[in-house]
Structure 1
Amino acid sequence: MSTPEHHEEPQVKNGFTDPGLADHRPRRADVEPKADKRAERQVAALFTVSIIGTVIALWAYFTKNDMEPGDVADIQSTNMWIGLGIALAMLGIGFGAIHWAKTLMRDHEMVEERHELRSSDEAREGAIQNLKDGAADSGLATPDESGTGVKRRSVLKGSLITAMAIAPLAVLVPQIGNMGADWNVGKFRHTMWAPGVRLTRDPDGTPIKAADVTIGSVFHVIPDGLNDLDHHHKMDQKAKAVVLLVRLDPKDLKIREGREDWSFDGIVAYSKICTHVGCPVALYEQQTHHLLCPCHQSTFDVSDGAKVVFGPAKRPLPQLPIAVDDDGYIVAQNDFDEPVGPSYWERLKGDAGTATVEEESH
């Protein structure tokens, strides 16, 4: 190994001792060709990890079409592999660049004296030359004796260019793929609720009698017949039709105009889908009659038409009009009178064939 550079004696400037720079210690890659090649292979390996990560993310995205619709385990597995692939794609490039800089690029100490804001022409030309030297310092190309330049570290160059070229695909392809998804938000206008459909317990599907609902009690509700659907359609319909059933003291209930017959003896039913971003609203506070969304803390007052009293949600929860049949079971009078879930720019009112557009804020 070469000996360290000579350490200059400290100088005193303006009453302060300038400690100067410590002796430069060359790295093994600077003095040992084998260490240099080993570091080069390590950097190339990290860039290759990035390439593999991109391939994993793309593989996971395109194979998701083969999984069973609504299968939670498959969805979680797919998301895990996509996330792992993107992480490897980004980290491989990042760690590769860091290792390259620490082991292969020049690490000599450089000092630049403070000067006026406007450098001299010579200094400006020197700065430009420093940039050019830095580019050459990366090790991708160094001049030969003829001055024409000779390329080296081709493995690094190829792996870096490949990794950086395909890494964005891990993020862009899923986004582009989603552009072809079904964006017919009008489907949220209709659910399984219809006149006479019984309200049943989630998840076993047991019908609910009005006599079983005591003041302050809460039931998580699905429409009768939901469990008879195949798995795919069941999950599809449940995502729109889930309801929270609550019984209040009738004197605490504020009946909104036009909804005088939508409840029964203090029993009210509201959609569980938050009107902010669609999280399940299921935390009920009996004393205040407030429903809380755990995602972003939107809070709805069940005693007053489920209006928003706090948080980012902009609309009340849609109310399901209910009644009691001859056997004492709670049934729906009709479907929700508005689309469930988050607001969107164009919400359909009435049937799709005679739809009018109402502007909504997000």
Structure 2
Amino acid sequence: MTDNTNHHDAGSGADKPRERVIGTPSLSEGATLATATGDPHRRHEGPYLAEETHVRSEEMQRKGERMASLWFLVAFLAGIGFFVSYFSFAPLGEGQPSISDPGTTQVSNMLIGGTLALALFGIGAGMTVWSRRVLPHYEVSSPYDDLSSSEEDKGSFSEFFMRGAHESGFTRRPLMRRTLLLAMVPLGVAPVVLLRDMGPLPGDKLKNTLWADGRHIVVEGTTQRIRAEDLTTGGMISALPEPEDPEEGLSLDEQANTVIILIRMDPQDFEAGMSQQQLEWTYEGIVAYSKICTHVGCPAALYEPTTHRILCPCHQSTFDAANGAEVVFGPAHRPLPQLPIRVDDEGYLVAAGDFSAPVGPTFWDVGVED
């Protein structure tokens, strides 16, 4: 809402109607608007009328410039810290920390996330200080009698815009400008560095695990071998391949790729949908599937014996254990890979080969060579 008052135009000597925003002082009432440049009547001429409503001294603006520059410098140092944290824990070569260690992973995540958050906060804080303590604050009004703009109006707005860019301090205050550009450099490079985690392609690594014909199956977390009679009908056991060196055990990566669930059901419960080969991969109603959900890699560790449903608790992907672990519900797109099993001469369960398909989420299989 605006009101029209007649103000004396010092440049032309004629009275012209002017619009001002309600709440701003009127020049006809003897009020003047001082600016940092010392001009007490600094108003924009033309249809876009601007009055500076917050007066800042040059000293105040310089303090704001120094404070904003300090925040930009903090953002730059935090950005450098992000790269240091990232490459310090990346397994690029021998002798570097393994990211597979849970403690190392936790520290890495805290450092990477913390430094990136501090960098973003520093830039945001610097921009806030810049806006509140350096930039001039205007209230602008413009009449809209005609929807179309004349060439004079367009030129007036262009002049107003360019003057605002100048008053922002970006060109006049090199300390603030340079520290801002410096702070933006690490954040600009960060996405490029993070793309490094998307490669290289896995090749055929996901098609080959430690499982091989004759390798014993042990209870997960132990070295106890499993006999067929150890599983009752309706029972489930999480299991792993027996490590070659019991004292050294399996690495976390090896466990993640090879963990399985053994389920025993009545052989007659296997549906006709299972192929003859899938049936041959079972032993007396015992079937083995990868425990890694094919959605995003969570452990599919829940089993409901009456319906033969395997459930992943993360996103409720559900698989039918009696029908080759086919997906019956949820976001997963392919069955859990099946592990062929048999028994050895001593009656222990052993693998009869490797998985029927690459383990894990579907996107892990991107780029796998046939």
Q: Give the TM-score of the pair, scaled to structure 1.
A: 0.80
Answering whether residue 75 of structure 2 is matched by residue 50 of structure 1, we say yes
Q: Call closer, same or farther: CA 1:230–1:121 in 2, change over 3 Å.
A: farther
State how far apart, in whole Å, the 1-side matches of 2:20 and 2:134 are: 28
User: For 1:280 and 1:228, how far apart are their aligned partners in 2?
Assistant: 24
2:357 aligned with 1:338:
yes
Indicate yes or no: 2:327 matched with 1:308.
yes
C-alpha offsets along residues 213-262 of structure 1, whole Å, 9 cap, x if unaligned?
A: 1222221111011663857x622321211101112233322242222322
The unaligned stretches of length 5 or more in structure 1 are 1-7, 12-17, 142-151, 349-356, 358-362
- Indicate if the aligned counterparts of 2:215 and 2:242 stay in contact, CA closer than 8 A: yes
Higher relative contact order (CA 8 A, sep 6+): 2
User: What is the percentage of aligned positions where both structures have the same residue?
Assistant: 36
What per-residue deviation string (whole Å, max 9, x for no partner) do you get for residues 117-163 of structure 1? Answer: 4211111111211220111121234xxxxxxxxxx322111111111
Contact 2:341 2:350 in 1 (8 A): yes
Query: Is residue 236 of structure 2 the alignment partner of residue 218 of structure 1?
Result: yes
CA offsets 1:252-302 (integer angstroms, 9 cap, x no match):
222422223221222111011222333322222333222223343322111
Matched residue SS, 2:327: strand
1:7-31 deviation digits (Å, cap 9, x = unpaired): x9899xxxxxx99532479999844
**Correspondent of 1:262 among 281, 284, 290:** 281
Structure 2 alignment gaps of length 5 or more: 6-18, 26-32, 35-51
Q: What's the RMSD between the two structures over aligned residues?
A: 2.9
Instruction: Supply the distance in 1 between the matched residues of 2:20 and 2:154 (Cα, whole angstroms).
Output: 28
1:22 partner amino acid:
G
Greater Cα radius of gyration, structure 1 or 2: 2
User: Among residues 332, 339, 343, which one is paired with 1:324 in the alignment?
Assistant: 343
- The Cα shift of 1:342 comes to 2.7
Matched, 1:93 2:112: no
Q: Pick one of 3, 27, 36 that aligns with 2:61.
A: 36
Question: Given that residues 60 and 133 in structure 2 are in contact (C-alpha distance below 8 angstroms), is that contact kept between their aligned partners in structure 1?
Answer: no
**Aligned-partner residue type, residue 254 of structure 2:** Q
Q: How far apart, in 1, do the equivalents of 2:313 and 2:68 lie?
A: 45
CA distance in 1, matches of 2:99, 2:246: 16
Amino acid at match of 1:341: G
Change (3 A) 1:248 1:129: same
Q: For residues 269 and 366 of structure 2, what CA distance do their matches in structure 1 show?
A: 34
* Contact kept? 2:292, 2:359, Cα under 8 Å: yes
Match of 2:263, as an amino acid? V
Give me the TM-score of the superposition, normalised by structure 2. 0.78
Structure-2 separation of matches of 1:28 and 1:79:
46
- Residues 33-73 of structure 1, C-alpha deviations (whole Å, 9 max, x = no match): 44333222221122112101211110011111421352111
Note closer, same or farther for the CA distance 1:227–1:137 as it changes in structure 2 (3 Å cut): farther
Q: Secondary structure at the match of 1:331?
A: strand
- Give the secondary structure class of the aligned counterpart of 1:338: coil
Specify the code of the residue in structure 2 equivalent to 1:21: I
Which of 211, 218, 225 pairs up with 1:193?
211
Corresponding residue to 2:86 among 36, 55, 61: 61
Sort the Cα spacing of 1:9 and 1:342 in 2 relative to 1 into closer, same or farther, 3 A.
closer
* Residue identity opposite 2:66 in structure 1: R
Q: 1:237 to 1:113 in 2, by over 3 A?
A: same
Mapped to 1, the partners of 2:3 and 2:368 lie a distance apart of: 78
User: Conserved in 1, the CA contact under 8 Å of 2:304 and 2:310?
Assistant: yes
Which of residues 157, 164, 180 in structure 2 aligns to 1:127? 157
